Every structure is written in structure tokens, then in C-alpha cells.
Chains A and B, each alone.
Chain A
Amino acid sequence: MNEYIATFYSHFGAVCFKKACVSCGLPAVIMPVPRSLSSSCGTCVKFQAPGEQDFPEKNEEIEQIVRTEGGRFVQIYEAEE
């Protein structure tokens, strides 16, 4: 299982995505965005999944998704502007 963090444009988007993760059987927690990931102070979802193909459907509120690798963040998805 890999660990991922998804950031959102709104708290609401994070709540929706966390529920979608749980309904897909993926362990997920909602928490403040880590400072090392962003200077924004929003809400993110930390979740675990075997791979990107196992992610729940992305909602329009997702800003980016990163994979955590030993304290580093590797961006794997970024919303189009």
C-alpha cells in the first residue's frame, strides 16, 4: 500500500473525497494540509491505496494528489487551471 495526500480547494471537497475513499475500502483521514506541502491552510485527505488505479473518482474540488515517499512528496496529479 502506498500513502497519498490529496489537497482541495475547499473543506467540502475534502470531506466528499474522504467519504469516497472509505466507501472504496481505502483507509483515509482528514487533516490540515502539511506546511511542507503548501502555504495554504486548508484541509487535506491522507489515504492509502495499492496504486492510482484504485483511487475513487476525482471530484472537481481536488487541487493535487501527492505520493509520500520517506517524508518527500511526489506529485502525481494536479488539477487543470
Chain B
Amino acid sequence: MKNEKTVIAGAGVVIGLIAAALVFFGNPANMGFCIACFLRDTSGALGLHSAAAVQYIRPEIIGLVLGSCILALVNKEFKPRGGSAPVTRFVLGMFVMIGCLMFLGCPFRMILRLAGGDLNAVFGLVGFVAGILAGVFFLKRGYTLKRSYKMQKTEGALFPVVEIVLLVLLLAAPAFIHFTEPDGGPGAKHAAIVISLAAGLIVGALAQKTRLCMVGGIRDAVLFREYKLLIGFAAILISAFVGNLILSAVTGNTYFHLGFTGQAVAHTDGLWNALGMMLAGFGCVLLGGCPLRQLVLAGEGNTDSAVAVFGLMTGAAIAHNFGLASSADGPTANGKIAVVIGFVVVCVIAALNSGKKEA
């Protein structure tokens, strides 16, 4: 399966370069892609939270789902399925988002922050690996959310249709949709819609083809000594790093800044950076994939993943409404309490859905 490794590595290189390019075209620094941030922005645009600095319907999210959906339809891999503990997945999604917003980024952005020289993300990576190991601990003890079932085509198609509706709302920009004012925060920084949408479509299709998953790479390496997905992880890191260096050289602007301080949309509290990503990694293993993977699976018709995405969006709304999300000033007291509660909830879900007697 040497060819599969090459395909995954190639996809990782393309995705890393696209992520770097999106920053050049207007996205916030080290945020060419961030599934957590972009779902949070979309939640804000829909009025689910009122943090004025982070409100925008991100076309990258729409593109990711539709790119996956289109390729799955072309390859006859669009298979509507669901019914595997949807409420549990919704709750896990909520706490994954709370962990991500403690760190200020999803696992995908963690890689991009590393590629941009943000050393705070090293703490995030350490926590992320620890969280995945915690999830693997329960997988080995029989953790399961039970099987999924075949669903009607309309059920599987509904989530991609929701994304199309979001695209219409973005283009029409009716008064009830909230957009961050110019210079009002990260929500105001974005590439042109057509560029963001195209980037999402390409990355969504590549991720569907390769099953790229930030959690899956480390999980498979630990469980099976299988490093294929990890190659994609590494390829994104290296290509985004090279892309940042090239952009710095060509434009004269800074796309790579090595250090802990002065990083964009980041804080320097190492402990809570690590704990936030640990919660995210733990929850993602229990969900069966990172936030990017949930979007891609939802595009393939997996309604359990669609429910997890709705959980992520709700988690973002809760994080901003309850003052849980970190900022450049650091984590909040409420956020720390929420992450601790998150660990308790995720541990209870993992334990109650594990049974060692047969495994």
C-alpha cells in the first residue's frame, strides 16, 4: 500500500500549502483552517452567541462538507447512516469544542500554529497526544457507542443541504445574520468567499479520499503501529511551514514567528493549552475522529457525525455565552472550570460505554 501513503502525503502537502495561502488571502494568522474557530464563527453569525469579534459564516466549512459529499457521490461512497448514540456524540462534541476554545484552535490549527512558529502549540500537542492515549485506554477496554444503521437518503443529505443554505445566507447577507465589523476581530479577517469556498471544496475532497484525521494518525500509530495517517499530519506541518517561509520571503510580511509571545489568536498559559487539547483529543477518540473528520463524514451522509458537528457548534455558543473561551490574555476562570467538568463528563461517558467482559 505504498501508493496510499504517497497519496496521503501528497494530500497533506496540498492541504498545508492551501492553509498557508488562505492566510495570505486574508484569513487570521496561523488560521488558514481551524474547524473549531470556523464553526464558532458560524455559530456567531447565526446569533447563537454574541461575541461580536467572531461572527462570520466561514465558506471553508461549507466547502469541506460539500467537497466530501460530491466526491463521495461520484465514487458511490455516499452512505447515509446514523443511530449510534447521537445524544452522547452531541455532548462529546460540545466538550471537544470547549477544549479547543481553551487552547484557541482545533487539532488542525494546532498543526498550523506549529508551522507558524507558535511554540505554545507544543504544549497543545503534548496534551493532544495525552488525550488520545486516554481515549485509546478506553478503546482497549471495550469502549463503543454501538453500531450505526442505514438511514434514508434524505436524512443523509440534510446536512449538506444545511451547508448550501448557509452559503445562500452568506451571499445574501440578510440583516439577521451577524458579521464582525471591519477591524472588529478575527471574524473580520477572511479570504474572498470564492477562494475560501474553493479551498474548502479541495480540502474536503482530499480529506474524503485519504480519510485524513488529526486524531486518527496518532490513534492508529498507538493501536496498530500504522503510520499512514500520521504521514498526512506531518506533511501538512512541513508544507505549511515551507509555505509560510516562502510567503515571508516573497511578501516581506511575517508568516513565521518563532516563540511563545506575540502569537496571533493564542495565549501563553502552557498548562491550560495542554489541558484544553487533552480534552479535545480524548473526546475526539470517543467520537471516532477530529472535527475535520466529523465534517467529512457528515458530508458522506453520516448523520452521527452531523450531530457531533451540531454539538461542536453548540459548544462554541456555550463557550462564548458563558465566558469559557480563552483570549490572547489567557484562559478564563470559567473556562478552567468547564474543562475540568469536561474531563469528568468525558471520563464518565467513556467508562459507562466500556465493557471489558467480552474484549
A and B form one complex: yes
User: Which one of B72, B147, B208 lies within 8 Å of A61 (CB-CB)?
Assistant: B147
Q: With a CB–CB cut-off of 8 A, which chain B residues contact A43? A: 223
Interface check B48, CB cutoff 8 A: no
Q: With a CB–CB cut-off of 8 A, which chain A residues contact B146? A: 9-10
Interface check A35, CB cutoff 8 A: yes
Whole-angstrom CA separation of A15 from B77 in the bound complex: 26
Whole-angstrom CA separation of A34 from B210 in the bound complex: 11
Whole-angstrom CA separation of A10 from B139 in the bound complex: 9
Q: Mark B212-228, 1 if CB is under 8 A from A, else 0.
A: 01001000100110101
Number of A residues near B (Cβ < 8 Å) is 22
User: Which one of A11, A39, A63 lies within 8 Å of B139 (CB-CB)?
Assistant: A11
- Which of chain B's residues has its CB closest to A11's CB? B139
Chain A, 20-63, CB within 8 A of any chain B CB: 30-32, 34-35, 39-43, 60-61, 63
Contact residue range for chain B? 35 or more
Whole-angstrom CA separation of A35 from B4 in the bound complex: 8
- Which of chain A's residues has its CB closest to B139's CB? A11
Q: With a CB–CB cut-off of 8 A, which chain A residues contact B216? A: 41
Q: Mark B145-157, 1 if CB is under 8 A from A, else 0.
A: 1111110000000
Chain B, 143-172, CB within 8 A of any chain A CB: 143-150
Residues A11 and B150 in contact, CB atoms below 8 Å apart? no
Q: With a CB–CB cut-off of 8 A, which chain B residues contact A39? A: 72, 75, 77, 208, 211, 300
Chain B, 270-320, CB within 8 A of any chain A CB: 288-289, 293, 300
Whole-angstrom CA separation of A43 from B359 in the bound complex: 14
Residues A11 and B147 in contact, CB atoms below 8 Å apart? no
Interface check B183, CB cutoff 8 A: no
Interface check B337, CB cutoff 8 A: no
Q: With a CB–CB cut-off of 8 A, which chain A residues contact B140? A: 15
A16-B224 CB under 8 A given contacts A9-B146, A9-B147, A11-B143: no
Task: Return B150 CB to nearest CB of chain A, in Å.
Answer: 4
A12-B142 CB under 8 A given contacts A32-B224, A39-B211, A61-B147: yes
- Which of chain B's residues has its CB closest to A42's CB? B288
User: Which one of B1, B210, B288, B359 lies within 8 Å of A12 (CB-CB)?
Assistant: B359
Residues A16 and B220 in contact, CB atoms below 8 Å apart? no
Task: Return A48 CB to nearest CB of chain B, in Å.
Answer: 18
Residues A15 and B359 in contact, CB atoms below 8 Å apart? yes
Residues in B lying within 8 Å of A, measured CB to CB: 1, 4, 72, 75, 77, 84, 139-140, 142-150, 208, 210-211, 213, 216, 220, 223-224, 226, 228-229, 288-289, 293, 300, 355, 358-359
14 contacts between A and B (CB under 8 A): A9-B84, A10-B144, A11-B139, A12-B144, A12-B355, A15-B140, A15-B142, A16-B358, A31-B224, A32-B226, A39-B72, A39-B208, A60-B147, A61-B147
Residues in A lying within 8 Å of B, measured CB to CB: 9-13, 15-16, 19, 30-32, 34-35, 39-43, 60-61, 63, 81
